[in-house]
C-alpha cells in the first residue's frame, strides 16, 4: 500500500509541476520581453547580475533546509507529531536568524556594487536597485520554512500552485507598470510585495492543513537530531559554496571580463534554458520525498530498481530536450528578440552541454539528498569551484565568453567521478563502481551519437527551405527535430524493462487500461 501511495503522490507531483511550470514559462517570457523592449539591454543585464549576486547570499542558509527536511522523513512516516513540531520550531528559529545574516552580508557587499557593475547608463542608482533585490531575498526567509512540511508530505504540486500564482501575478503587474510608467523601482517593488504575499499564502495553507504545528507546547529539539543537523549543515555549507561558485558566478565573470550587455544576452538564453531545466528537474526531484520514504526500508535491490527507472526517464527527457533546443534555440531567439541578440554556435553548444550534464545529476542527487549524504564529500564542491574559477578565467582571457562555460563543464566532472560513483552507486545502491562508469560512458556516447545524427536531419531540413514563414518554420523544425531524437531514443531503449514499466504505468494511469 505504501508503494502505491508513493507512486500516486509522485505522479500527482510530476504532472502538476509540469503543467504549472509551463504556465510560469509563458508569463516569465512575456515579462522579460517587455523589460528588454521597453527598458533596454542594460536594465536586463542589471536584472541578471543582481539576481546572481543575491543568490550568492543564499550561501548563508548553509543547507539547513535540506538537513532539516532529511530529519523530517522518519517522523512524518511514523506520524510522530511531537517530533515534527520540535523540528519545525527549530527550523523557524534558524530561518529568522538567516534572514538577519543575509541582510547584514548584503549591506556589507553594497560598497562593491558599483565596481562589479561597471559603467551603466540607467536613471536609478545601482545601489538602490541592488537594495531592492536584497530586500526581496531577505523577505523570502520569513514564513517560507513552512514549505518543507508540504514537501515532506509529498505534495510538491501545492508548492508549484503557489509559485505559479506568485510568478504570474508578479509578472503581469510588472508588465503593466513598465508599459504605463517605465519606472524600474516600481517594477522592483511589485517583486518584493509579491514574494511576501506568496509566503503568507503558504503559511496560511500549512496552518489549515497541519494545525498541530500551531500548538504552543512544543518540546525542544532532541540532542541527537540537533547533532545530525549540525553535521549535515557542515557538509552542505561546502556544497552550497561550491555550487554557487560553479553555477552562480557566470554573470559576475561575464560582467567583469566581457561587459554588462553580454550579461543581458546570457540571461536571455538562460530565460530559455532555466525554465526547461526547472521543469525537467521537478519531474525527477518531485519524487525525492518518496525516495526518502523508500530508503527507510533499507532494501538496496529495491532502491536500485527504482534508481534505474528514474535514470532512464531522466536521460530520455534531458537528451531529447537538450538536442532539440540546440538545433532550434537560435531560430527562437531571432523570432523573440532579433539577430542582434544571438550568441555564436560554439557558445550555444556549451550552454546545451552544461544543461545536459547538470540534468544528468538529478537522479543521483535525489538519492544522495534523500539519504542525507552531505558531510562525506564536503570537500569535493570546493575542489570543483577552484577548478571552475581558474579554468574559466584562463579560457575566457584566451577564447572569450565561451571559456566561462567550458570551465563550468570541466569542473562539474568532479562530482561524477567521486561523489556519485562511491557514495551513491556503491554505498546506497550496493553496486560496483565500475558499473557506474560504464553506464556514465554509455550515456555520453549515446548523447554524442544522437546529436550528430539529428544534426544531419536538421541540416537537410534547413537546406530544403520548404517554409518561408519564420514562425511556422520554427514550429515545424522543432517538431521534426523532437520526433527524430525521440525515435532514436526509442530504438535504443524501447525494449528495456524500465521503458516497459513506464509504458505500462502510462497505459494504466493515463489511458485507464488494465
d(CA 60, CA 461): 50
DSSP codes joined into one string, 183-218: -HHHHHHHHHHHHHHHHHHHHHHHHHH-GGGG-S-P
236 neighbors 63 (Cβ within 8 angstroms): yes
259 neighbors 118 (Cβ within 8 angstroms): yes
**Which residues have C-beta within 8 Å of that of residue 138, sequence separation ≥ 6?**
99, 102, 103, 106
Q: Which residue has the cell 524501447?
A: 494
**Which residues have C-beta within 8 Å of that of residue 472, sequence separation ≥ 6?**
none
> Residue 5: which of 207, 155, 149 has the closest Cα?
155
DSSP state of 379: T
CA dihedral 82, 85, 87, 88 (to 10 degrees): 170
d(CA 445, CA 496): 18
Out of 55-69, 205-219, 461-475, pick the least confident.
Answer: 55-69
DSSP codes joined into one string, 40-73: -HHHHHHHHHHHHHHHHHGGGGTTHHHHHHHHHH
Instruction: Read off the pLDDT of residues 89-120 as tens digits, 9 standing for 90 and up.
Output: 888 888 888 888 888 888 888 888 888 777 77
Q: What does the pLDDT average to over 351-367? A: 87
Mean pLDDT of the residues in the chain? 80
Instruction: Read off the pLDDT of residues 305-356 as tens digits, 9 standing for 90 and up.
Output: 788 888 888 899 999 999 999 999 999 999 888 888 888 899 999 999 999 9
Task: Say what the pLDDT of residue 259 is.
Answer: 73
Out of 177-191, 197-211, 497-511, pick the least confident.
Answer: 497-511
How many C-beta atoms lie closer than 10 Å to residue 427's C-beta?
16
Burial of 220 (0-12, 13-18, 19+ CB in 10 A): exposed
Amino acid at each position: 500500500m505504501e508503494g502505491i501511495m508513493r507512486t500516486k503522490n509522485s505522479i500527482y507531483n510530476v504532472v502538476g509541476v509540469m503543467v504549472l511550470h509551463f504556465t510560469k514559462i509563458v508569463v516569465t517570457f512575456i515579462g522579460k520581453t517587455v523589460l528588454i523592449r521597453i527598458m533596454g539591454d542594460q536594465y536586463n543585464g542589471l536584472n541578471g547580475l543582481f539576481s546572481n549576486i543575491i543568490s550568492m547570499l543564499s550561501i548563508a542558509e548553509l543547507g539547513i533546509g535540506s538537513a532539516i527536511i532529511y530529519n523530517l522523513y522518519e517522523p512524518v512516516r511514523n506520524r510522530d507529531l511531537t517530533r515534527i513540531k520540535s523540528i519545525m520550531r527549530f527550523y523557524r528559529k534558524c530561518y529568522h536568524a538567516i534572514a538577519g545574516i543575509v541582510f547584514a552580508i548584503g549591506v556589507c557587499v553594497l560598497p562593491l556594487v558599483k565596481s562589479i557593475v561597471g559603467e551603466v547608463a540607467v536613471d536609478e542608482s545601482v545601489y538602490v536597485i541592488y537594495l531592492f533585490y536584497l530586500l526581496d531575498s531577505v523577505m523570502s526567509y520569513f514564513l517560507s520554512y513552512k514549505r518543507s512540511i508540504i514537501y515532506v508530505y509529498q505534495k510538491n504540486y501545492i508548492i508549484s500552485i503557489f509559485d505559479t500564482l506568485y510568478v504570474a501575478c508578479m509578472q503581469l503587474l510588472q508588465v503593466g507598470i513598465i508599459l504605463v510608467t517605465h519606472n524600474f523601482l516600481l517594477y522592483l517593488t511589485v517583486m518584493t510585495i509579491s514574494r511576501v504575499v506568496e509566503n503568507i499564502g503558504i503559511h496560511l495553507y500549512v496552518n489549515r492543513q497541519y494545525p498541530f504545528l500551531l500548538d504552543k507546547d512544543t518540546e525542544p529539539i532532541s540532542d541527537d537530531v540537533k547533532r545530525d543537523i549540525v553535521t549535515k549543515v557542515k557538509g552542505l555549507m561546502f556544497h552550497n559554496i561550491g555550487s554557487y561558485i560553479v553555477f552562480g558566478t557566470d554573470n559576475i565573470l561575464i560582467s567583469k571580463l566581457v561587459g554588462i550587455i553580454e550579461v543581458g544576452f546570457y540571461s536571455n538564453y538562460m530565460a530559455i534554458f532555466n525554465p526547461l531545466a526547472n521543469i525537467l528537474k521537478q519531474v525527477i526531484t518531485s519524487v525525492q520525498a518518496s525516495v526518502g520514504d523508500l530508503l527507510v526500508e533499507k532494501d538496496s535491490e529495491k532502491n536500485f530498481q527504482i534508481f534505474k527507472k528514474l535514470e532512464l526517464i531522466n536521460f530520455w527527457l534531458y537528451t531529447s530536450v537538450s538536442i532539440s533546443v540546440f538545433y532550434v534555440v537560435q531560430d527562437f531567439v531571432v523570432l523573440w528578440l532579433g539577430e542582434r541578440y544571438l550568441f555564436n554556435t560554439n557558445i550555444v553548444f556549451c550552454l546545451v552541454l552544461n544543461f545536459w550534464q547538470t540534468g544528468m545529476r538529478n537522479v543521483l542527487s535525489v538519492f544522495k539528498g534523500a539519504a542525507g549524504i552531505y558531510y562525506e564529500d564536503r570537500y569535493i564542491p570546493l575542489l570543483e569551484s577552484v577548478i571552475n574559477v581558474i579554468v574559466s578565467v584562463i579560457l575566457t582571457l584566451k577564447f572569450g565568453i565561451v571559456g566561462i562555460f567550458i570551465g563550468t563543464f570541466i569542473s562539474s566532472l568532479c562530482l561524477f567521478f567521486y561523489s556519485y560513483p562511491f557514495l551513491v552507486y556503491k554505498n546506497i545502491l550496493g553496486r560496483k563502481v565500475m558499473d557506474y562508469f560504464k553506464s556514465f560512458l554509455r550515456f555520453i556516447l549515446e548523447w554524442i551519437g544522437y546529436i550528430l545524427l539529428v544534426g544531419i536531419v536538421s541540416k537537410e531540413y534547413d537546406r530544403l527551405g520548404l517554409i518561408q514563414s519564420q514562425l511556422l518554420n520554427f514550429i515545424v523544425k522543432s517538431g521534426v527535430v523532437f520526433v527524430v531524437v525521440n525515435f532514436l531514443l526509442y530504438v535504443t531503449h524501447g525494449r528495456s524493462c524500465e521503458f516497459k514499466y513506464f509504458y505500462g504505468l502510462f497505459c494504466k494511469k493515463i489511458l485507464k487500461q488494465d
